[in-house]
Every structure is written in structure tokens, then in C-alpha cells.
Amino acid sequence: MIPEPSTDFKSGFVALVGRPNVGKSTLLNALIGQKIAITSPVAQTTRNRLRGILTLPHAQIVLVDTPGIHKPHHLLGQTIVRNAIGAISSVDLTILMVDGGDRMGSGDRFVAETILQSKAPAILGVNKIDKLTDGGAEIIASYESFAAEHGWQVVQFSATTGAGLAELQTIMCDRLPLGPYYYPPDLVTDQPERFIMGELIREQVLLLTREEVPHSVAISIDQVDEQPKITRVMATLHVERDSQKGILIGKKGQMLKEIGTKAREQMQKLIMGAVHLEIFVKVQPKWRSSRFQLADLGYRPE
């Protein structure tokens, strides 16, 4: 399953790190060429560390998508941020990702400090260059001067249009050591399909509900039954309060129906087959602050 690498084969781990919403998950999907990480305009979409595997003829790049680093407000946030920081210490290269549509802010500086403290090799990835307008040159110049101070290379790209991604890929390969295949060449992620199915439901919750609701939801995939013509999936949305349950179900069940229909469409693309999806909603008070419940729902210190 795992081939013998040629003597000049390069491989290693590259962490995508940055404040929430800079486009880390979008970049991961664009590089892999397949949707394995969910994305949304809501900050703090990513909760778990997810690996995307990009196998090229001469290299294997294992991309580690990390949750946005932010100031945590509860145990879930603390666990998420600790895991993201932990990822930096164990990779061959870190890409500090920033949003090229904005100047460097305090959130970016906080992440940069964390990387500098770890002394890990890093580059500065300026994403969303498609958003650059008149003031663009000035913004890029400010990123370049920050990077120059620390001896970091700057790469500009757009994860949504694909501009600059070939150059980014070349730079990553250049920076990796000679090494083995860490994963079989046809594998695109280290996470099981079940995990991605749960994420596809969470993505719809993020896109369709507002304010605290998306952040108060955890998804468990309770059963996946693969039958010859259809795969039956049973899932539960865990929320903290009755009011959140009401919002997720919606008037006459409209909201839950919409979440289910859209998540099912995405799941069908994932498994390339028909899916029947049933979703339940369960109130589990304060799950985000309970160590036991967090672990049960898949949020463990890594």
C-alpha cells in the first residue's frame, strides 16, 4: 500500500496557523483538490486538528489545518487553542496565514509571537489577494517588512481563485526534508468519513443559524449503515439549552429540514452515493464546559 520512495523524495508536515477566518480550511481544500475541511464566514469554524494529505510525484505534504488561535472563553476554546499551538511544535514548516484584505492586526501578532517562541521554521502566507484593491501595495509592504524582520519568506495567494497556489506548493516542497511516504498515496485525509460527515452537518448549522447557536452545537454521528443502494446515517445535534433546540428545529421543523437536506447533498458528494440522513436534537446542558462531555464529543487535548 505504501510505496518505497525514490532517493530524492521529500515529505513532511506543514501546519496552517492563523487567527480565525483567514482561510486556513479553504486553503487546505484548494491544495488537496477536495472538500475535506468545512468552511464558513463565521469565525472559529474549525474545532479539531485535521490533516490533509497532498501526494505529488516527488513529494508528500501533510497539511495540518488548525483551529483559529483566539482568546478562549471556555474549556472548549482552551482545548482548541492549546491543540493549535501544540501543532506548531511538531511540524517541519509553519505557514502563518493572514488575510491580505486587512493590515496585520493584534490577533495576527499574537499568533506570530507564538510561532516565534516555538522557534519553528515558518513562512508568511498572505491569503485573499483577490480582495486587494488600491491600498493593496501598502498592505503587502507592511507584511513584507514584518516577515523580513524575522527572516521569513512571504507568499501571496488566493485560496478561492487559486492564484499563487502553484508557487506556494513549490515553496513547501523546497522546505521539506527528504523522507518517506507517511500515508498511502491515494489517501487525502487522516480523518474517517464519519468525522467529515459530522463536520458537514456542523457546516450547515454555521451557515444557517446565528449568534451563539452555531458555537453551542456539537454533532455526533450515532450510526452509519451502508446498504447496497443507500447509506443510512443517524446523527444528533447536542445543544446547551432548550431555546437553542427550538431554533435548530425551527417553525414546523423547517430549520432542521434545511440543515438535513443541505448536509445530505454534501455527504452524497463525499461518499459518491445516496444518503438517507436522520438528525435528532438533544439538550445537554453546559457540554462546552464539561471535560467529560467534551471528550465524549471528540474534543480531547491532542
Ligand X SMILES: Nc1nc2c(ncn2[C@@H]2O[C@H](COP(=O)(O)OP(=O)(O)OP(=O)(O)O)[C@@H](O)[C@H]2O)c(=O)[nH]1
Q: Which residue lies nearer to ligand X by CB, 46 or 293?
A: 46
From candidates 11, 44, 94, 293, binder to ligand X by CB under 6 A: 44
Q: 244 and 256 in contact (C-beta within 8 Å)? A: no
Q: Is 128 annotated as a binding residue?
A: yes
Smallest CA-to-CA distance from 18 within 50, 53, 44, 37 is with 44
What DSSP state is assigned to residue 178?
Answer: B
Q: Which of 14, 31, 36, 46 binds ligand X (CB under 6 A)?
A: 46
Nearer to ligand X, 68 or 198 (CB): 68
Please report whether residue 82 would count as binding ligand X according to CB under 6 A: no
157 touches 167 (CB < 8 A)? yes
Could you tell me the smallest distance in angstroms from the CB atom of residue 39 to ligand X?
3
Min dist. Cβ of residue 186 to ligand X (A): 25
d(CA 11, CA 27): 19
Q: Does 39 bind ligand X (CB under 6 A)?
A: yes
Map residues 129-148 to x or -, x wherever contact with ligand X holds by CB under 6 A: -xx-----------------
φ and ψ of 202, to 5 deg: -65, -35
Contacts to ligand X from residues 151-210, by CB under 6 A: 158-160
Angle at 22 between CA 18 and CA 25, to 5 degrees: 85
In the complex, minimum distance from the CB of residue 273 to ligand X, in angstroms, rounded to a whole number: 27
List Cα–Cα distances, 64 to 8, 88, 108, 238, in angstroms. Answer: 23, 9, 18, 27
Q: With CB under 6 A as the contact rule, which of the stretches 42-50, 110-118, 165-173, 236-244 interacts with ligand X?
A: 42-50
Residue 279 beta carbon to ligand X: minimum distance, rounded to whole angstroms: 22
Range list of β-strands (E), the chain: 10-17, 50-55, 59-65, 93-99, 122-127, 154-156, 218-226, 231-239, 275-283
Examine residue 125 and tell whether it contacts ligand X (CB under 6 A): no
C-alpha cell belonging to residue 231: 447509506
20 binds ligand X (CB under 6 A): yes
Provide the binding-site residues for ligand X, judged by CB under 6 A: 18, 20-26, 39-41, 43-46, 67-68, 127-128, 130-131, 158-160
